Amino acid sequence: MRKRVLAVILAGMMAGILAAGCGSSAGSAAPEQKKEEAAPQETEEAVEDAEAPSDTETEVETEAVEMGAVSTQASAAEEAASTQAPAAENAISEEPVELQVFIAASLNTSMQEVAAKYNEEHPNVKITFNADSSGKLLTQIEEGYTCDVFFSAAQKQMNQLEEDRLVVEGTRADVVNNQVVVIKRKDTESAVTGLADIGKASSIALADGSVPVGRYTRTALMNLGILPEVEDASVYTTAEVSDALGGVEISEQGNVSQVLTAVVEGSCEVGTTYYSDTYGFEDQVDILEKVSYDLTGNVIYPVCQVVNDEATDAQKAAAADFVSFITSDTAKAIFDSYYFDTNIN
């Protein structure tokens, strides 16, 4: 601004000097000299006037400085906020939380180890398990029991939970495959060699149709031609299965772990359970047959985060993170060691 004002004044003065020189005669030297002597004085005054800022310019410059200061302060505040944001997130993630995790009974032993491994990195997360048959767990969730994570032994229960709109979108994942086995107590004799002749037993431990292992066993009996073909094998009652097997005594069990216990304790001669449930009982039971997937179909275990409107943000974040950990390579290595099959993709 100052340079532009000075340039205008100087340009005007030069034009005036040139005009005066052209209009004067040789005898008028004195007046011309006065004009030339006066010019420097006018120029100095003009420069001083140009250099001296007006009140308006001073106000504008002051406002600009103040605005610059405000902008600098705002930038500093934003930088400070961005620096503090991660700290706030870490504080939330380290908040003590408790997760209610519903798992199929056949997962109980392996999931204890999975949880212990997870807690090495997340000691603030307390994981409480509810282990039972997938059918019973589904009913409890539908009835309003507090649940953050559901790990089912079958797709049927997970499909129903999804129809109920209780699965957090994007969290459902297939984790492991299992296999139905026919077992007997190690120190007993049995004429049974597998599922096809299981009716030769004096007594059988069998889960009811709402329990995945019970439904898979019934599906296999259908595919063997022992039970008539129906759309859903779980509809067959224990009494109907007994009749199809020639009237053999069947002790109905509420979950897969109870089947194993009935055989180990000698209450029943044989039973159908999962291969993973025989882990740790190798010296107590014999596996008579690993039932083919051709008869049972795949025994896929899906997991998901459950919609829990009462959970805090920290709980929801921890639940999502735990589901991700269950599907990780670290967790899969643990499942492999417990006789699960993780090669399902």
Report yes or no on 84 lying in a domain: no
pLDDT of residue 227: 98
Q: What is the number of structural domains in the chain?
A: 3
pLDDT of residue 325: 98
Report yes or no on 62 lying in a domain: no
- Residue with the bigger pLDDT between 7 and 164: it is 164
- Residue with the bigger pLDDT between 18 and 295: it is 295
pLDDT confidence band for 94 (50 / 70 / 90): confident
Residue 163's domain comprises: 94-177+299-337
pLDDT of residue 345: 62
CA separation for the pair 135, 154 (Å, rounded): 9
Report yes or no on 202 lying in a domain: yes
- Average of pLDDT values for 28-34? 36
Tell me which residue has tokens 């004002």.
Answer: 5
Q: Taking all residues of the chain, what is their mean pLDDT, rounded to a whole number? A: 82
Q: Report how far apart, in Å, the C-alpha atoms of 63 and of each of 5, 69, 71, 112 are.
A: 22, 10, 12, 67
- Average of pLDDT values for 145-166? 97
Taking only the tens place, the pLDDT of each residue in 264-297 is 999 999 999 999 999 999 999 999 999 999 999 9
CA separation for the pair 62, 48 (Å, rounded): 21
Calculated CA dihedral for residues 218, 221, 225, 227, nearest 10 degrees:
-40
Taking only the tens place, the pLDDT of each residue in 215-253 is 999 999 999 999 999 999 999 999 999 999 999 999 999
Report yes or no on 71 lying in a domain: no
pLDDT confidence band for 106 (50 / 70 / 90): very high
DSSP letter (8 states) at residue 167: B
Query: Do residues 29 and 161 share a domain?
Result: no
Q: What percent of the chain has pLDDT over 70?
A: 73
pLDDT confidence band for 93 (50 / 70 / 90): low
Query: Do residues 193 and 234 share a domain?
Result: yes
pLDDT of residue 115: 98
Taking only the tens place, the pLDDT of each residue in 69-78 is 444 444 444 4
Give the lowest-confidence range in 86-90, 196-200, 303-307: 86-90
Nearest Cα neighbor of 129 from 110, 154, 112 is 112
CA separation for the pair 100, 130 (Å, rounded): 7
Position 27 pLDDT exceeds 90: no
Report yes or no on 76 lying in a domain: no
Position 43 pLDDT exceeds 60: no
Report yes or no on 61 lying in a domain: no
pLDDT of residue 229: 96
Report yes or no on 40 lying in a domain: yes
Which token pair is 174?
Answer: 């297939």
Domain of 203: which CATH number? Answer: 3.40.190.10
Report yes or no on 69 lying in a domain: no
Position 49 pLDDT exceeds 50: no
Query: Do residues 118 and 262 share a domain?
Result: no
pLDDT of residue 6: 40
pLDDT confidence band for 3 (50 / 70 / 90): very low
